Structure 1
Amino acid sequence: MRESGVQQGYFQGQTAGGSKRERTRSALLDATVSVVAAKGMEAAKILDITEAAGLANGTFYNYFDDKESILREAAYGIALAVGRQLDEEMSSIGDAGRRVVTATTRFIEIVVREPDWAHVLLGSAEVMPEMRKDIYRYLRSDIELGVEQGKFDVEVTGFLLDQVASLIGVSIRTQISTGPNAALTRQTCESILRLLGMSPAKARKLAATG
């Protein structure tokens, strides 16, 4: 029998068989994901989270200091889960262009399959500067590699990274609303490659390999 009201999700799955304290903490994190997906980062309240978890409101403070702390842990936990999946596929890819296409394609596919994750990741990137900085570190690394390899012809700035992230975010939100769309994902990759200075023909050909 479950000890909380929230449907078992990713975090509870990670602590199945653990102590009651671990399971309760995970239930709060899964509830946070559900509430953020339904209401957004700003509108989510601690009371919403505890109600979704089937726990007393005061229980929250036995595990987290405030709303920001649980939002941060939920966002980083999901980012880590997505990152592990990407790392497995990216480890053998040395070409920066292929890295950008593969990372973009797989990231979109993963979060479109898990729309609640998408809401948390996109929302946290908007309201948590440290989260956005961590995400951008991976983008910056691959783009700088592409410049070194002669694949990309751009100056790597915060504004450029904002544009890349915006293209990915629009693609994700559209696909969550209308359904998975491989053609749209390819168009997103092609647009990113062109933004990075690749010719239209090369960008189209490389995007098709995703």
Structure 2
Amino acid sequence: MSNTAQPDAPLTRGHKKRERTRQSLIEAALRLLARKEVGEVALLEVASEAEVASGTIYNYFRTRDEVIEAVGIALADKFSETISALSIGVNSGALRLAIGVRMFIRRAAADPTWASAVIRVVHFDQAIRSKIANFVLVDLRGGAEEGVFSYPDENIARDLVVSCVVGGMRAVIEGRGTQEHDSQVAEMVLKALGTTPARARKLAQQPLPG
């Protein structure tokens, strides 16, 4: 097999139209998931929400699960981009983790519709969970190497962070968030990961990038 990289072929007009329609269906499913439980969303309802012919959706998705998976992957990609952008110039894994926790909760407060959809999908589709988990693991390992984190099991530590982020998002969109909810959740997560109280508070209070 040749190792010479071949340039990507430009998208044809038909391919571009197909991609736009697929994206429109994913965005429609996302809006529905902000209002309904996963099991209540029907394929034809997604087509109606996207304002496409009912039969068109079957050219892209055969089942509701396929739509939900596509939504999960799309959300995971956005999460990955956010985390990556926040990590630029931040060398501390512990600080990156604190920033990530706070930014997700702050976005939930600023955009409850987005947050509602994320919360519903994160419990259903493993794609988004695994994407988040991969980034969390990098920060957990970085914090452990720095000597800031100390935890007995990496998988439990990862699940703790993901669960606390989702819980914090849910609290703010349900009106249960406290003042500086993002910082308080981040501080408690850091403490649970073995950070000293003084350092956890300092990291959780750092100015956010951007």
The normalised TM-score by structure 2 is 0.82
Structure with the bigger RCO (C-alpha within 8 Å, sep 6+) is 2
Say how many residue pairs are matched. Answer: 193
Specify the code of the residue in structure 2 equivalent to 1:133: S
Equivalent pair of 2:119/2:166 in contact (CA under 8 Å): yes
The residue type equivalent to 1:84 in the other structure is: E
Partner of 1:52: 49
Specify which of 169, 172, 182 is matched with residue 172 of structure 1. 169
Aligned CA distance change for structure 1 residues 139 and 85 (closer, same or farther; 3 Å): closer
Partner of 1:133: 130
Output the CA distance in 1 between the equivalents of 2:108 and 2:80: 11
Residue equivalent to 1:9: none
2:53 maps to 1:73: no
Q: 1:111 to 1:189 in 2, by over 3 A?
A: same
Counterpart for residue 11 of structure 1: none
Q: What CA distance in whole angstroms lies between the structure 2 residues aligned with 1:71 and 1:79?
A: 12
Aligned to 1:110: 107
Q: 1:122-165, CA deviations, whole angstroms, 9 ceiling, x for partnerless residues? A: 22321223432222111111111111110111123323322222
Q: Deviation at 1:179?
A: 8.6
Per-residue displacement from partner, 1:36-85 (whole Å, max 9, x unpaired)? 11102222111221121122322110112221222112221122123223
> Could you say which residue in structure 1 is the equivalent of 2:6?
none
Of residues 30, 38, 41, the one that matches 2:38 is 41
**Corresponding residue of 2:27:** 30
TM-score (norm 1): 0.82
Matched-pair contact (CA < 8 Å) for 2:103–2:182: no
| Mean Cα deviation higher: 124-133 or 49-58 | 124-133
Secondary structure in 2 matching 1:178: coil
C-alpha RMSD of the superposition = 2.2
Residue identity over aligned pairs, in percent, reads 26
Residue 181 (structure 1) shift: 6.2
What displacement does 1:180 show?
7.7
